Amino acid sequence: MSGLFSRLNVEAILRDYPMGVAFLEGPAALSRDALRALQEYRFARVMARAWQIPFYQERWGAAGLEPGDISSLDDLALIPPISKDDLMASVAGAPPFGNFHGRDAAHPFAVFHTTSGTTGMPQPLFYGAEDREIQNLLLARAYRLMGLEDDDIIHSVYGFGTVNGGHYVREAVTHFTDALLVPAGTGRDMPSEQQVEAMARFGVTVLVGFVDYVRRLAEIAGKKGLKIPLRLVLGHFGSGDRQAVSDAWGGAAVYDWYGVGDTGVIAAESPSRSGLHVFEDAHVVEALDPETGTPVEDGDAGNLCATVLFKTGIYPIVRFDTKDLTTLSPPDPGSGINFRRMSGFEGRSDNMVKLRGINVYPTAIGTFLDEFEALTGEYVCRVFTDKGREDMAVIAEARERSARLAENLAERLKRGLGVQVMVELVAPGGTAALTQINERQKPVRLVDER
């Protein structure tokens, strides 16, 4: 028998990566020494497999490494990080899939998806049967941690097509919970007006997706006067104003989680509200200085770099630099979860604009806009050159536009960013053509006209 199911032992997967009470009483309660021993065991298996992959053989060999040089996690910093750029270079050198995926005679099966292509050409993504199902389980673990129950009705606005998101959420919910999933997709899959009408008709209690589109749906539902019994919003919020999202959805509890297509979910909030708990039984994380690539101290922002401890078949992931900025911190003793924490998404270091010597991250500007009640939170940054000088205009949607509001926003951005930028206020929906918010999971936040 071929296929995914013939390669799975779900009981063993649930034993190794439990969720719910079993998670809280198991991995989450491990001492730091016991957790480190578990990580070392799993890391050794990942490294043994990675050394069999041509991509890592070439890269590590060029760095002067040999298989015996990395004997523990203490040696992790000796391994050169990889990023999407390196993976796409692999694809260019060995089209169409590159030489990093690890499909061979011993590992012929893979689930295939791609990234969304928000920051460039979509990247191929590969998952073995077991690591795909572990990723699914870990997302179900995150949802359970944030309060998902089996009698919930979940409306998902993650996209489908080759992109991973919608399929990942569907598999996690349907494989590891009894909740009912409404796989609506993005506005391209199902128009926004139809989505909120369906939410009201089906009595949706949980909404999952990216904050930008979640807010868009709240605005449409409000205009239509629809009554939707939403109690949870679970998605990707970073430093955004979650209270505003909660208020827009009638007081629903809002929780953040973080992951990327390559790794699956890495960290999630709990009711303790003390940051996102890194699932350290499944990942080892670092924060790297965006310029030097060296690890930074806890409390300092850096690129989230992940080593996945369960990918021992298809596409092992060792020191993957996501280019997503975050801040790491020690465990919170009062949370009941003895895992390190991360602040969430704080912007992308590879989406940075340098204005008059100051680094500006367009994806992090939304947190400043949330301070103004008259703004919808939707925006796009336009970077251009004027008379030899690079400049940036923040185009923000406002329910009520005035010169005073534009001036106040410009002043707040100057204080927050450390550099003066232009501000243009437009009516609600006025940035949609540029951000493509009704078609994409992750809207465009930077239009570079240089």
Residues 402-446 pLDDT 10s: 999 999 999 999 999 999 999 999 999 999 999 888 877 778 888
**pTM for this structure?**
0.87
* Residue 114 dihedral angles phi and psi, to the nearest 5°: -140, 165
Structure confidence at residue 114 (pLDDT): 94
Same domain, 183 and 288: yes
Find all residues with CB under 8 Å of 238, minimum gap 6, and list them.
211, 256, 344, 345, 346, 347, 364, 367
Rounded Cα distance between 443 and 6, Å, is 38
pLDDT, averaged across the chain: 93
Find all residues with CB under 8 Å of 387, minimum gap 6, and list them.
none
Rounded Cα distance between 42 and 46, Å, is 6
Same domain, 357 and 330: no
Structure confidence at residue 201 (pLDDT): 98
What CATH number does the domain containing 377 carry? 3.30.300.30
Structure confidence at residue 358 (pLDDT): 85
The verdict on whether omega for the bond into residue 191 sits within 30 degrees of 0, i.e. cis, is no
CB atoms near residue 258 (< 10 Å): 25
**Nearest alpha carbon to residue 277 among 41, 28, 31, 34:** 28
Rounded Cα distance between 148 and 266, Å, is 18
Same domain, 421 and 339: no
Structure confidence at residue 118 (pLDDT): 66
* Residue 254 dihedral angles phi and psi, to the nearest 5°: -115, 125
Same domain, 438 and 358: yes
What CATH number does the domain containing 4 carry? 3.40.50.12780
What kind and span of H or E run contains 168? helix 165-176
Same domain, 316 and 356: no
Among the three residues 302, 329, 346, which one is the final residue of a domain in this structure?
A: 346
Same domain, 341 and 357: no
Strands 358-360 and 375-386: unpaired
CB atoms near residue 97 (< 10 Å): 14
- SS3 state at 149: coil
What kind and span of H or E run contains 289? none
**Nearest alpha carbon to residue 315 among 243, 372, 374, 260:** 260
Radius of gyration of the chain (CA): 22
- SS3 state at 27: helix
Rounded Cα distance between 189 and 213, Å, is 13
Report the amino acid identity of residue 303: N
Residue 348: DSSP 8-state? B
Same domain, 406 and 274: no
What kind and span of H or E run contains 10? helix 10-16
Among the three residues 346, 362, 378, which one is the final residue of a domain in this structure?
A: 346
The whole domain housing 37 covers 1-346
The stretches in the chain having pLDDT less than 50 are none
Rounded Cα distance between 172 and 137, Å, is 6
What kind and span of H or E run contains 306? strand 301-308
What's the structural domain count of the chain? 2
Same domain, 108 and 207: yes
Structure confidence at residue 357 (pLDDT): 80
Among the three residues 301, 330, 346, which one is the final residue of a domain in this structure?
A: 346
Structure confidence at residue 353 (pLDDT): 83
Residue 295, CA distances (Å) to 39, 128, 349, 359 in order: 19, 30, 15, 20
Structure confidence at residue 387 (pLDDT): 74
Rounded Cα distance between 160 and 151, Å, is 25
Structure confidence at residue 383 (pLDDT): 92
Structure confidence at residue 238 (pLDDT): 75
Structure confidence at residue 240 (pLDDT): 66
Same domain, 271 and 417: no
Same domain, 261 and 399: no
| Angle in degrees, 0-180, between the axes of helices 192-202 and 211-224, rounded to the nearest 10 | 70
Same domain, 404 and 317: no
Rounded Cα distance between 423 and 410, Å, is 6
Extract the tokens encoding 362: 């367009």
On whether the CB atoms of residues 319 and 80 are closer than 8 A, the answer is: yes
Structure confidence at residue 442 (pLDDT): 78
230 DSSP β-pair partners: none
Question: Around 399, how many Cα atoms within 13 Å sit in the side-chain half-sphere?
Answer: 9
Rounded Cα distance between 305 and 284, Å, is 8
Same domain, 226 and 108: yes
DSSP string, 79-95: SPPB-HHHHHHHHHHST
Structure confidence at residue 448 (pLDDT): 84
What kind and span of H or E run contains 61? helix 54-62
Rounded Cα distance between 19 and 27, Å, is 9
**Nearest alpha carbon to residue 58 among 82, 74, 34, 75:** 82
Rounded Cα distance between 269 and 253, Å, is 12
